[in-house]
Each structure stands twice: as C-alpha cells, then as structure tokens.
Structure 1
Amino acid sequence: MGLNRAQRDELDRRVQAIDWTDEARAFGSPQRLQLVDWMLSSRMVEDEIRKSFRNPAQAERMIEYTRPRMVEKVTGTPIVSNPAQWNPGNILDPQPDWSFCGWVRRTTYTISHRNARRVLHPQVRDTTSYETMGEDGDDRLTVFDLAGTRPLVPVTPGLFDAHPHLWVLRPDPPQAQAMRARVARLGVDIVPAMIAGTVLDNPEYRHLEPGDVAALLLSPLPQGSLALAARMTPPRYRRLMSLWAPTQLASPRRVDGAALRRELDSLGGDIRAWRTVGTVVARLSV
C-alpha cells in the first residue's frame, strides 16, 4: 500500500518548504537530489505503475524502465536516455503551491503508458505462477528466481522514513546468489537466521518483516540506476561506489578487484564505507 492522502500532503509541504533559488533549481542540485530521495522512498512510481499493469512481471519491467527516467526528469541530468531528445517542458519545474506528488504520479503514468507497447514483449510470463505457499500458509512470500531478478512482492512503503537509522551491508555476488537460491526454496522467513551473527546483520532488522530484509539485501540494482547510485553517495565514498556497484546488478559485472581493494584501503577499511554504499544501493533496488 502506497502513501495515503495525508502522507502525500505532508510530502508536498516538505517540497514547498524548500527555498527554490536559482541555485536550487539548477539541474543536479542537492535540492533536486533530495526530491529524488523522497520520490524513491515513497514508492509513488512503483505504486502508480502497479495500478495500471496488473501482470507482476510486466509491472516490474515497466518500473525498471520508468524509474530512472523519472529520476532524470527530477534532476535534469541524464542517466539512461539521450538529453538531446528531451522535451524541456517535461523536466520538473518547481512552482509555488504545486503538488510534487501529483506531478510524480501524472508523469509516471504518462511515461509508462506511452512506452508500454515498445518495452513489453508478449513472452513476458505472469510470475504469479512461480509463487509458492510458505509452510505456515503465508502465500505472500517474496519470490526470487535464481537469475537474481527483483522481488515480486514490494517492501513496506516508506521503509527508510520509518527507520531513519537503517543501514544495509550487502552480500557479495556469490553469497547473494546462494542466499537467493535458499530463499527460493525455503521462503523469506529463513533470511534472519541466515545472517544472524554475521556482518550482514543489523539490529534494526528485528523491527522489519523478513521479506523487507530479504529485499534490502538481495534485490539487484537496476541497470539504469548505476549513475544515480554514485550521485546519491557521499563524496568520500563515491569512487568506491563506482567501482563496486556493477557487482550488484542482476547480472554482476567483473570489476577491477585491485582498484577496489586500493580504494577500500584508502578509506582505512572502514565498515562504514560498505554500509554507506550498501544502503544507497538498497534504496535504489527495493
């Protein structure tokens, strides 16, 4: 369930409270990146698409297509599309007393519906056929396929707003693949036991649903979010993110391991570095 009317009104008030100076309006400004963070954590894009695309596989495909393009329209900076083909009138232009939430929902609808025929293919299968019922009768288990696709059940909306101190340390690709295989067989309830006593565990997870924890740890980073992941990372850890983020894609890429180790050494091997980049990737992946 997405944001209710009161929550959308509150988010609109936060956006309207920003001092939209010329510097704030500039493409790629910190204020625009803040709007991206609020948009992604609210899950308005996902909610709007799922209302229109009832087939879960088609909805996930359209979310993957639409989300980075929505980020482009908020920030005014290219991620996946050619800016030479942009309509300047479609880039977010903050106005007095405007509704940011209304703009997000309308623009999401327009992008997803105008491009659905081109993006979707007839062979997309209804992934509900892969869902299995848990041993306790809960048929809402998050389901992963072994190729590392995104979870088919969305995480709790506003997860990072509800838990502002939440951090995520993500497993490396071989460990993530093994964990996804176990989750596919046994369901998400196994995840807390899998990470208990390891560096992946976080006391904050005790307050989350197992499916939320599984999604935070295992959902692949969308291809179109690589550049955004670097932009959303504090400058101190930005190079680490650029080197490491490709390992978090659904089809992990080979990276320069020596360069990655050197960068980590330059940061003093600080566990906070991994938590910082892991949390940014989790925000963009769930």
Structure 2
Amino acid sequence: MELGKCQEILSLRKREHSMEILVVGGTKYFGIPMVQKLIEQGHKITLATRQTTQDCFGGHVKRVKIERTNPASLKNAFSGRTFDVVIDKLGYCSNDIKYMMEAVRSEKYIHMSSTAVYQPKVIDTREELFDGYHKELVWCNRSDFPYDEIKRQAECALWQEYRDRKRIAVRYPFVTSKDDYTKRLLFYIEHAIKGMPMHIDNLDSRMSLIHAKEAGEFLAYLVDKDFEGAINGCSDNTVSIREILDYVETKTGKKSIISSSGEAAPYNGEPDHSINTDKAKKLGYLFSNLNDWLWDLVDYCIDITSMNVR
C-alpha cells in the first residue's frame, strides 16, 4: 500500500477513536508528558487551570480558566458541557471530588491519587490494601487533615458517592525526574556533596519511585481502557537511600554526614515497601525498571550540584 494511503487510514482511525477529554491541571511536571501523549493519540483536549502557568501545547488544546476549589467557578466553566473523560490531577480532598463531579458530566473520571493512601505501604503493596468503599467518608477541605488522609477521603468520596460513571484512581509513589520541582531526590545529593548533615530515619528502607514521563503517559494510556477501580503505577524494583548515598560517595568521594541534628530528609517516614503493578500489566502497560533511569538521574543531580560548589 502507498505510504500516503497508509497515513490517511491511520489518521482516520485516530479521528474515529478521538475523545473529548477534560484535563484539570496538566501544565506542570508529569502533566506535560500526559497531555503530549493525549495529543499524539488524537484526542480533543480542554485544559482547565488557573492559567498562571503558560503551557507548551499551542493550538492543540482548548483552554478554560477555573479556580479548582471554588464550586461556583467550576459550574460556570462547565455548565452544559459533557466530556468522555475527565483527568483530574488536582483533586486532593473529598470536597474537591464533590465540586468537580457535580460540575462536569462525563462517562469516565480519572483521579490522580497516591500510594500515600496505604496504611502503611508494605512489601508488594496491592490496591486492595486500601478500601475506600467502606472507610467512613468525611467531607473535608485540603487543610483539614494531613496529606495522606485527605487523599483517602478523596477516594472515599469517589467510590461511595459517584457510581453513575466509570471511576479510576491512579496511585503513584514519589514521582521524580530532572525537572522535579520538589527537589526531594536532589536534597540527598546536595547535602552529601556539600557536607551538610542530614537526619535520615529510613536509611535502609526499600522504596519505590516512578519517572515523571511514565507517570504522565500511564494516565493517558488509561483513557480508553475498559477498567474501573484503583490501580498502582510504579517503576519495577526498589532502592534504598543508603544505596543512593553510597553511589554518590563512589562517584564523588564525598561521604554523607548522617546526624539526628541534621536537616530532616524529604523521604523520612517511608517504610520498607514495594508497589505491585500487576493490574497495570494485565491492561498491557509495562513500567520501566528503576535501574534503567535512576542512576542517570543521580548522575545529573551530581553534575548540577558539583557545578554550583566550584
């Protein structure tokens, strides 16, 4: 078949499977590769944000300005509109879920949850470890509870109150990459190289991570999948803080200073755990191995830190 004809057929198939997708958030961090993948898949995308961050998507998306925690703002923005899928990256608490669900009509709602809902995470953490169907639902705002509890309450609202549409809760551990605005991983490398004491309470705990690119692309992967429920996303394999610091010492000769009087490290409190992704694998999505990208990222952190101390 001629190349031009093949391209025409592929373009037609893409249009036939095109969906109207509302992305709440999506202009920062792993929202960027998520939207880029949705564009690549040929979907019609509307970005709902506060419009305080300029995005890089040009004419490939429509845009609407909202205040995520204001129910009147959401109703004004979405009155009379229906979407095939809503991807809500900014739903933190039960009231967030309520405001969005009551403002927007959709067939499917994908909620950006977190592995923080697990109490606690364990080796081979599976989705069934947290049951949002039977935990008491408390209508709350973001400041009412610590992060882990408001995310649990968001899922409680999702599962218990809105059974009229397909719902997915995607649970990720810590997300990281070169453009990680939290700089959590960078904290350890900087403190080690600069000789700054760190208080670390889980030096040998096995921990799970996911790369920002995969975190975004997996969300996009789910929009047309016949699935409902909670689902984990995570790179294969685990790592300990000790392994990272030993690697830094081998590369730089700088030995970390671990002290109870040092600055508290950002991954403190994380228990020994791993995240099971069998559900994602059954859907056909295979996550990368942590070791395929983590050490290149640590090298990058070493390089940028070393440049700053010269």
Give TM-score, length-normalised by structure 1. Answer: 0.29
Structure ranking higher in helix proportion: 1
Give TM-score, length-normalised by structure 2. Answer: 0.27
Structure ranking higher in strand proportion: 2
